[in-house]
Structures are given as C-alpha cells and as structure tokens.
Structure 1
C-alpha cells in the first residue's frame, strides 16, 4: 500500500467519523422507551425517545429540554450524580467534534508535507479524539443504566412490565465514529512509517548511484 492511498483513506475515514458524530449529537435517538399502550392501561408512561438535550414524548412528538442548570437543592445525591454525569457527556461529545475539525486541517497539512513527525503527532491526536468519544459513549451507557436502576427503585416492577427500554441509533452513530477515529489514527501512523521508510531509502539510492 502506497503513501497516497493510505492518507486518502485516512482522510475519508476522518471525514466520515466527523459526519457520524455530528449526526449523533444532533439527533434525539440516544435512548428509546417503547410502551405497549394496549397492555399499559394506566397511561402512567408514554413512548419517548431522547437525545443529549431533549426528550420527545407521546404520539404528537411534544418535547421538553433537559435542564442542566436548574436548582438541585431538592435533589437526592443520586439525582445530582446523574445530572453531573449528563453534564460531562454534553461536554465530551461536542469537544471531540471540534477536535476532529482541527485534526482534519492539521492532517491535511501533515500529509502534504509528508513529515514523519507531523503525521505521528496527528495520528496520536486522532487516537486522543477516539478516547474522548468512547469515554462519552461509556459514560452515557453508565448514566442510562444508573437512571434505569433509580427508576426501578421508585416504581414497582409491574408498572414497567410493558415498557421496553433500549439504546437508539444515535448512540450507534457515536460508536461508529469512535471506530473510524481509531482507524484514522492507525492509518496516519502507517503513513508516517511509510514516509520514514521512503526517507531512509532515498539516501541509500543516492549512495548506490554515486
């Protein structure tokens, strides 16, 4: 595999990872609650899907924003803990998205310069971005599980018998973005090694010609 193919593939992977993460952040299908309305006659719960900032409920799609800066004096310690986790989540994902933009710019410069040092640094940069993204995914999964456990302590098991909860495709997009960020970093590291080998071969070729 030559240098050009590697860097073009890395660029496409980096661009796709940015698009997937942007779509993930901007959509509201991170967590889905599906209620069997025929069996759930109490109408205590309604089907909903939520994003990082909003929750959509009911068949008419009404929504309300998730407040992160409301008064927490009346909240329990567990509720405060969950709110803090959500605050971390909504910081990590946009931060990772912004870092991907700079990574794309610096990656293009490093590829044009064919610099081993620059390519190695950008490869490490993308690996750091992938760590931020997967950290956000992991914290969101942990947050959702803890929120479900808190809900189970508050209501009876029978009332949740016909309520199905699952992660949505928005979270899947974030996971795919993480995989592509990781793959981009690996490809850029490979491009850096190819550049180093080329630099080592050029003096040898000059020496043999002389």
Structure 2
C-alpha cells in the first residue's frame, strides 16, 4: 500500500519541494497551508497522489479536521513533515515587536505541538515518522534572536518526541538547515541551500530501515 505523508507549510519553498520529492518517491501527500490557490496549483501538478487542504495550523480544530480528512482520503498516515514556520521583521528583544513574537511562537511552536498531538495516534498505528523543520538558529546562540529561541524549542522537542515514539517503533527527525533560498527572505539567495536540498534530506530520513532513526540532519550551504 502506498504510504501517506502530511506536510504543513506546503504551499511554497521547502514544503512544496518536499511534496514533489515525496510524490516522486512514491508517497501520497496531504498538503496543508493557508494559501488555497497555491495548494490547488501544486496538487494539480502532482496529480492524484496529492490532497490540498487549506488550513491554519495555529488553529487546533482546523489541524484535527485536516488530519481526519487525510486519513479518510488516503486510508492512513505514515509520515508527517511539520514544516510551517516564520520569522520576524524586527529582530532582537529590546527593539522587537511582541505582537510579532506572539504570531511567530504560535506558528513555530504551538502549531508543531498541535500537529504532533493530532497525528501521533495515527502514526502509532503505522509505526510512522514525524519530521520537523528546525534550523541552524536552533543550534547556535544568536544575538537577541527570538526566532532562534523558537527553533531551540523545536530541536529539544524533537529529541524528546523521538524518545516517546521509540517506545512503539516510531521515529522523529529534526531537519536543521542553514540559510535556504525561500520566500522567507525578501531577496533571493541563489548560492545558498535550495528547497530541493532540504526535500532530499526529508525523503532520506523517511526512507530509513525500521532499525534506524536519523535523529537530526544538519545541512549548511556550500558557499
């Protein structure tokens, strides 16, 4: 039976590249993001293996509904890529904007928790895998970076979740990239990591034998 991967933040960048790569590797893909038009375009490109689900992943009820629709449509869930995230326009603490922090924390932290909470019962049935987007910023101390602090949470959570899932044969991997050329930045970064680089890392993690759990993949641009 074809396996199914649910991806958050799937409309552009890393999420969209991972959807394409996973579909090429034989996975069904459930695509979650707020941008319905972009999701539909991507789903049309991929074909019958894709399901577009417009969803605000900071809304716990919406996440639960999207997961239920995924399982109903494809018959189960074998993998999750919790990729949705954002930064802030005003970095630092003293000059930062607490309203921006609020929105970022809800997406970078709470949405990851909501996604895990909604999907783990289904992943338990398939001894499936949870993959989450961390960052180099979640491994290093960066001056006043609230964004980096959210990614430190992600890295810590991923390790803890890996231990919890290990009890029933599941696995968790955190993908930790340096700078990636995505819409996250206002200007293009063509010499930095490309979304396809991260997508290949996700597919690699998903393809491990049952005896192996790659806990972290750390990628850096070669320039």
Same fold (TM over 0.5): no
Q: Look at both structures and tell me which one has the larger radius of gyration over its CA atoms.
A: 1
Structure-1-length-normalised TM-score: 0.31
Structure-2-length-normalised TM-score: 0.29
The structure where strand makes up a greater share of residues is 2
Task: For CA contacts below 8 A with separation 6 or more, give which structure has more relative contact order.
Answer: 1
The structure where helix makes up a greater share of residues is 1
